[in-house]
Structure 1
Amino acid sequence: MILNRTILTLGLATALLQMPVSVSAQGSGTSRTNPLLQKSSLPFGAPDFSRIQESDYLPAIEAAIKMQRANIQKIVDNKKKPTFANTILAFEESGVVLDRISNVFFGLTGAHKTPLIADTENKVMPLLIDLENEISFNQQLFTRIKYVYDNEFKKLKGEDQRLTEEIYKSFVRSGALLSAEDMNRMKQINSRISELQQQWGNILPAATNNAVVWVNSKEELAGLSDADIAQCKKDAESRGSKAPYCVVIINTTQQPILASLQNRELRRRVYMASIHRADATNPEFNTFPIVTEIAKLRAEKAKIMGYNTYADYSLENTMAKNTKNVDAFLHQLIKEYAPKADAETKSIEEYAQKTEGKNFKLQPYDRFYYSAKMKKEMLNISDDEVKPYFNVDSVQINGVFYAANRVYGLTFKQRKDIPTYHPDMKVFEVIDRNGKSIALFYSDFFRRPTKRGGAWMSAFAKQSRQRGQLPIIYNVCNNAKAPEGQPSLITWDEVCTMFHEFGHALHGILSNCQYNTLSGTAVARDFVEMPSQFNESFASIPEVFDHFARHTDTGKPMPADLKERMLKSINFQTAYALGENLASTCLDLAWHKISADEVPSPYMAGAFEKEQLNNVGLLNVQIPPRYSTTYFNHVWGGGYAAGYYSYLWTEVLAVNIADYFEKHGALDPAVGQAFRDKILSRGNTKDQMQMFTDFTGMPSPDASGLLKARGL
């Protein structure tokens, strides 16, 4: 997942980059230079967390906003004829200081949201949305941009032309061509949506933390490994020790721990805590009012912009283009998937009835448990058997980094001299095959109460030749950290997540673009997940797998027999994973294919969810949505509104590209270089469908291999 905290603001005059600004240190009564308002002296301009104080962010962002306002005014006041240089490029570089500071700040709001960072975010977001509205609806600025687009666009070439097009269209899509009355309403809508998303960002992590399930005895945790029980004890201690143990709820509906818990009542409690975390079962935590208001505002926004629904508005700038194409894509998948899902559920229930009796009715909290037992019996494999071979450090160094070295010629040198915002973080200098340093990469893999759920990639700084900036990229995960002195072991799913997020990281690390706006992962939403999903394919390539899957104690590779059984098990009963994704995808679209008048009340939102799933044939108690409405962060807190389908869409692209690699040499540096040159380095400098064609030779994606790749 990409952490997408996009605001329209794009740059600032480079001359201001090194301007020191003195501010009073909060609560100290002294004056000091705010380190965020100086260019860092660290390699790559990395954020100097050894000097930055949490109290620095608010005054730094306020100062950077003033800088950008001043630079926008310079563009507007320019009496010369608008040109690419004095208008488009000037706008692109008008907020570089704000970019630099906000990139660092929003890294913390996701991964290390302390009370002061949360309070600062509450104060910062209204300032940023006001600035966004101010710029989006600045008619004097837009008049100059439109003049360049109308008169100079065809003369421009390459990235200059692409940047002009992107900036012009972003203003149009924000409402720059609207009447004054409609513009005013759009400002109000944008501001209110921002407020609501801020509320969402505060309530959902709190609800998820509150949903922990307290456990009074070790006996109730029967089925868990000693390491998992130790983690439950550690989690309880870090959350106030209301009981000796607790089970932490992760961001998805189903909880992986249910595959091991023998106690059915505890399984039920964990599942219920997950699905009811934010639906007012506990009156303190109810996101339905936020969801319904955002849905109404988005629908109104689309109508003002001349679209029937928000989905129509949102999809215009994607590879899919419109709801008709997305619906057709999903309908075909649902049609082929449904009978396989029913057969899978029936087989699990029949298996459970062998030991529990013929009257046993499988419940959603039973599915993972009996599926795991079934897999163990049929394939003689379990997570506990393979986890000792998946030490998180080995997966990163000997797996993720090794594959990147074999395919792209990259090496990674740990930099212990570069400070981080948390001791768990590691920093690596990325060195190209020619010996040249090209990026910094940070990894932050372990969960903690200040970190939101899930896994993602983002950047402290995006690559830009114009700014002389090399990329500073980071990955965040939520793996359990072992007690001090013990190795942290992860599941195969978590291995795949590490490869996935590093695919996003490579998209940022290998970027080679002139402009910040076009670089790295700044591509269509239904293309951005392709490099990450494709990168997952390297995890199971024999040479890569054998290099990282080594026993944490002995260092020996996974035995051939165990490896064969484990790889066979990857596609065991995979209908569930596809079904939960389809259900969430259809929920997302359902909320965004209706008018404002059709949005249900908060009291009826739960019924709306069930009705919409039933309408597409996905109301299945055994296979609930991966994310239900009340905790669907991608849609209500992130940038995936009407876009969650992109995970499946880009999986098709990834399968096609993986097939190409397999045919031409999965670890062949020449193939890797071609992929790097034609896709990973190009950012948004070219139409993404054309990039896909340039690399694969295929005129369009072929979806026929998706179900096969998933073992269906």
Structure 2
Amino acid sequence: MTDNPFLAPSPLPYQLPPFAEIREEHYRPALDQGMAEQLAEIARITADPAPADFENTLVALERSGTLLARVLAVFDNQTSAVTNEAVQALDAEFRPRLAAHSDAIHLDRALFARIDAVHARRAELDLDAESLRLLERHHTRFVRAGARLSQAEQQRLRELNARIAAASTEFQENAFKANAAAALVLQDEAELAGLSPDAVEAAAQNARELGHPGGYVLSLQNFSIQPALAVLTDRQVRKRLLDASLNRGAQRGGELAAELSALRAERAAIFGYPNHAAYVVADETAGTVEAVDGLLGRLVAPAVANAERELARLVAAAEADGVGDFGPHDLAYYQEQVRKAEYDLDTAELRPYFELERVLHDGVFHAAGLVYGLSFTERPDLVGYHPDTRVFEVFEEDGSPLGLFLGDFFARSSKRGGAWMDEMVPQCGLFERRPVIYNNLNIAKPAPGEPVLLSLDEVRTLFHEFGHALHGLFSDVRYPSLAGTQVPRDFVEFPSQVNEMWATWPEVRANYARHHQSGEPLPAELVERLARAENFGQGCRTVEYLAAALLDWAWHTVPAGRRIEDAQAFEAAALKEAGLALEAVPPRYRTGYFSHVFASDYSAGYYAYIWSEVLDADTVEWFRGNGLTVRAGGEIFRRELLSRGGSVPALETFRAVVGRDPDTAPLLARRGLGG
């Protein structure tokens, strides 16, 4: 263990993990020691003969577990971004153990008694606002984790938590393997007709890396409607690609989803809740199942009406091509055809203007400078966790250091699908730490020397994930439990969605949207066509999202004692009951690969994207109409919201920026739903 790099804080700038020294064999002993150390630290808190107070209990609890947190920050990323069978096996072994470790802390009666005693005297302690918030959050977390349950209830809770952790890990591994197995392998380049030359070459490069030399491989993104469906001209290839996407992981994924639904419902019942969704939202900004039902319910009918109007236009275009059996594999293709016909806009025209380096430096980073005064310097001397990972040092407007940003932009066979942000080192005043934040995306990697040209959606994703990164980088709190993105799940997507606005802000877009060969800016008439087509397809996109959100909701409003026997039949019935069973518009995720809710912490929380979008759309209108400069508005948004982490109730930070409660009208207008 003496050469294990996890055992001491990293000597690198900002405590960046020493990735060049970390090997897989370091994880097991470091995780074991990390758990043992934290339990010993907890034992010292409970054995303290002094009466419980804020310092010897709450602050001591915040100081515990530093080794375990250091290991998990790296290990959790490896399980998602650079995984292999050995890492997956270790993950499957440790997730139940980590769940048991969490239970050992949160169900420690002596520890909770001290927290409860301090909480009972909170009004007389003269704590500052952040310390009071920490006390309240820890007390709530312990109660919600079972601290007040009977011994018999706690024992059953431990069993449930261990099995939930194991099943969630298995679901993720099943989805990962199903994604790889379902990749579409093609041998004839003619089958790729419609793809751009760089996309064809990326498919060939993908095939070479996956052991299919001379062929072409279209790997699957983690959502249903694959990007290539918009341009592939061969209907049969489109159908094969969509079938592969919709059916991956169905059997085992469905079984695990049913098991997780039942386990979570039983756990919720122990706490007195009618279902898992009720338990989850009680600690979110939504507060109640009724509030979520109300928002989603108001959106379904107008979204479906919009989608049906859009589909009528798509079906007519397909019939003009001689297609009489329009199916979901035709949806994206004919959306693109109608967009071209009605708005003179071919999204393939945009790709040459969206080259990754330019979008990153002259778009994402430029916007962060324009709005917040930041600057970025690449640090090739600092090693990331994969050769594709790049490290940037981030500086304030006055040149002082802020933190590190790691960008890992390319897809690979060892990385799960999707895009995400997380923290290698969370900001923390207690330990005097500056943040180290990373973004993972899944952009197809072209052959060496070829440009990386992005789709419009990939540009938005780059800005979106960097919005999460800013939330972590700007964190300015004392306690690690309140840092960065430690906010309610139905609030955490809000800052990232706001950051998407800068992708189309005229000054920003003019700076990055330039032809990768000529350097010419995106033509003004193409910008105008983009603006005219802004709401095109919103009905189908909203239905696609709502179907996934309400599918998640259906699985997690199942009451305790009911076990779903047929996941596919349950899914079909749930979508029909919700009024979202449009055959031509599949849900964004089907049960078998819905990792958001069955393999991560978004269970009964996928509604969060639209809930957060209410705040996002309202804030975008505030930026446009507040009468301030962009820089002044950015400073308010940073100071009052992005920097606060979880140290202030989430909606209070929104009100501190906008000056009032949220208004749904901007969201309805954006989504083309009226109101």
**What is the TM-score normalised by the length of structure 1?**
0.93
User: In structure 1, how many angstroms separate the alpha carbons of the residues matched to 2:330 and 2:656?
Assistant: 47
Match of 1:529 in 2: 493
The offset of 1:323, in angstroms, is 0.7
| Matched ranges for 1:241-280 at <5 A | 241=212, 244-280=215-251
User: CA 1:268–1:154 in 2, change beyond 3 Å: closer, same or farther?
Assistant: farther
Q: What secondary structure, in the 3-state scheme, does the structure 2 residue paired with 1:580 have?
A: helix
Q: What is the total number of aligned residue pairs between the two structures?
A: 672
| Matched ranges for 1:396-415 at <5 A | 396-415=360-379
Matching residue within 420, 423, 426 for 2:387 = 423
Opposite residue 194 of structure 2, the aligned amino acid is G
Opposite residue 242 of structure 2, the aligned amino acid is Y
The offset of 1:120, in angstroms, is 2.4
Opposite residue 332 of structure 1, the aligned amino acid is R
Match of 2:83 in 1: 113
Match of 2:149 in 1: 178
User: In structure 1, how many angstroms separate the alpha carbons of the residues matched to 2:627 and 2:516?
Assistant: 30
Aligned residues of 2:109 and 2:147 also touching (Cα < 8 A):
yes
| 2:311 is the counterpart of 1:345 | yes
Match of 1:12 in 2: none
| Matched ranges for 1:86-235 at <5 A | 86-152=56-122, 154-155=124-125, 156-235=127-206
Match of 2:209 in 1: 238
The offset of 1:122, in angstroms, is 2.4
Match of 2:506 in 1: 542
Aligned residues of 1:214 and 1:242 also touching (Cα < 8 A):
no
User: In structure 1, how many angstroms separate the alpha carbons of the residues matched to 2:612 and 2:627?
Assistant: 22
The offset of 1:153, in angstroms, is 5.1
Match of 1:599 in 2: 563
The offset of 1:482, in angstroms, is 1.4
Opposite residue 200 of structure 2, the aligned amino acid is I
Which range moved further: 133-142 or 144-153?
144-153
Opposite residue 489 of structure 1, the aligned amino acid is L
User: CA 1:301–1:153 in 2, change beyond 3 Å: closer, same or farther?
Assistant: farther
| Matched ranges for 1:605-624 at <5 A | 605-624=567-586
CA displacement 1:354-403 (0-9 Å, x = unmatched) = 1216xx12100011111111111222222221100001111111111111
Match of 1:364 in 2: 328
Matching residue within 249, 252, 267 for 1:301 = 267
The offset of 1:413, in angstroms, is 0.8
Match of 1:51 in 2: 21
CA displacement 1:563-605 (0-9 Å, x = unmatched) = 222333332222111111100111111111121333311xx11
Opposite residue 478 of structure 2, the aligned amino acid is Q
User: In structure 1, how many angstroms separate the alpha carbons of the residues matched to 2:244 and 2:378?
Assistant: 40
User: In structure 2, how many angstroms separate the alpha carbons of the residues matched to 1:597 and 1:54?
Assistant: 41
| Matched ranges for 1:507-656 at <5 A | 507-601=471-565, 604-656=566-618
Q: What secondary structure, in the 3-state scheme, does the structure 2 residue paired with 1:445 have?
A: strand
Q: What secondary structure, in the 3-state scheme, does the structure 2 residue paired with 1:499 have?
A: helix
User: In structure 2, how many angstroms separate the alpha carbons of the residues matched to 1:459 and 1:398?
Assistant: 24
| Matched ranges for 1:371-382 at <5 A | 371-382=335-346
Aligned residues of 1:591 and 1:599 also touching (Cα < 8 A):
no
| 2:352 is the counterpart of 1:388 | yes
Match of 2:664 in 1: 703
The offset of 1:704, in angstroms, is 1.6
Using the aligned pairs only, state the percent identity. 37
The offset of 1:623, in angstroms, is 1.3
Opposite residue 53 of structure 1, the aligned amino acid is R
User: In structure 2, how many angstroms separate the alpha carbons of the residues matched to 1:296 and 1:41?
Assistant: 46
Opposite residue 185 of structure 2, the aligned amino acid is W
| Matched ranges for 1:72-91 at <5 A | 72-91=42-61
CA displacement 1:625-654 (0-9 Å, x = unmatched) = 101111111100111111111100100100
The offset of 1:666, in angstroms, is 7.7
The offset of 1:243, in angstroms, is 6.6
User: In structure 1, how many angstroms separate the alpha carbons of the residues matched to 2:453 and 2:110?
Assistant: 57
User: In structure 1, how many angstroms separate the alpha carbons of the residues matched to 2:460 and 2:34?
Assistant: 39
Opposite residue 548 of structure 1, the aligned amino acid is Y
Which range moved further: 665-674 or 262-271?
665-674
User: In structure 2, how many angstroms separate the alpha carbons of the residues matched to 1:86 and 1:125?
Assistant: 30
Match of 2:284 in 1: 318
User: In structure 2, how many angstroms separate the alpha carbons of the residues matched to 1:523 and 1:201?
Assistant: 24
Q: What secondary structure, in the 3-state scheme, does the structure 1 residue paired with 2:644 have?
A: coil
Matching residue within 327, 332, 339 for 2:293 = 327
Opposite residue 20 of structure 2, the aligned amino acid is S
Q: List gaps (5 residues or longer) in structure 1.
A: 1-22, 24-31, 281-285
Q: What secondary structure, in the 3-state scheme, does the structure 2 residue paired with 1:181 have?
A: helix
User: In structure 2, how many angstroms separate the alpha carbons of the residues matched to 1:154 and 1:493?
Assistant: 52
Aligned residues of 2:394 and 2:403 also touching (Cα < 8 A):
yes
Aligned residues of 2:96 and 2:163 also touching (Cα < 8 A):
no
User: In structure 2, how many angstroms separate the alpha carbons of the residues matched to 1:76 and 1:423?
Assistant: 45
User: In structure 2, how many angstroms separate the alpha carbons of the residues matched to 1:274 and 1:329?
Assistant: 29
Opposite residue 202 of structure 2, the aligned amino acid is Q
User: In structure 2, how many angstroms separate the alpha carbons of the residues matched to 1:154 and 1:253?
Assistant: 54
Aligned residues of 2:621 and 2:666 also touching (Cα < 8 A):
no
Which range moved further: 145-154 or 63-72?
145-154
Q: What secondary structure, in the 3-state scheme, does the structure 1 residue paired with 2:477 have?
A: coil
Q: What secondary structure, in the 3-state scheme, does the structure 1 residue paired with 2:434 have?
A: coil
**What is the TM-score normalised by the length of structure 2?**
0.98
**Cα RMSD (Å):** 1.3
The offset of 1:462, in angstroms, is 0.7
User: In structure 2, how many angstroms separate the alpha carbons of the residues matched to 1:326 and 1:485?
Assistant: 48
The offset of 1:40, in angstroms, is 1.0
Match of 1:481 in 2: 445
Aligned residues of 2:97 and 2:162 also touching (Cα < 8 A):
no
Runs of 4+ in 1 over 4 A off after TM superposition: none
| Matched ranges for 1:656-675 at <5 A | 656-664=618-626, 668-675=630-637
Q: What secondary structure, in the 3-state scheme, does the structure 1 residue paired with 2:321 have?
A: helix
Q: What secondary structure, in the 3-state scheme, does the structure 2 residue paired with 1:693 have?
A: helix
Q: What secondary structure, in the 3-state scheme, does the structure 2 residue paired with 1:598 have?
A: coil
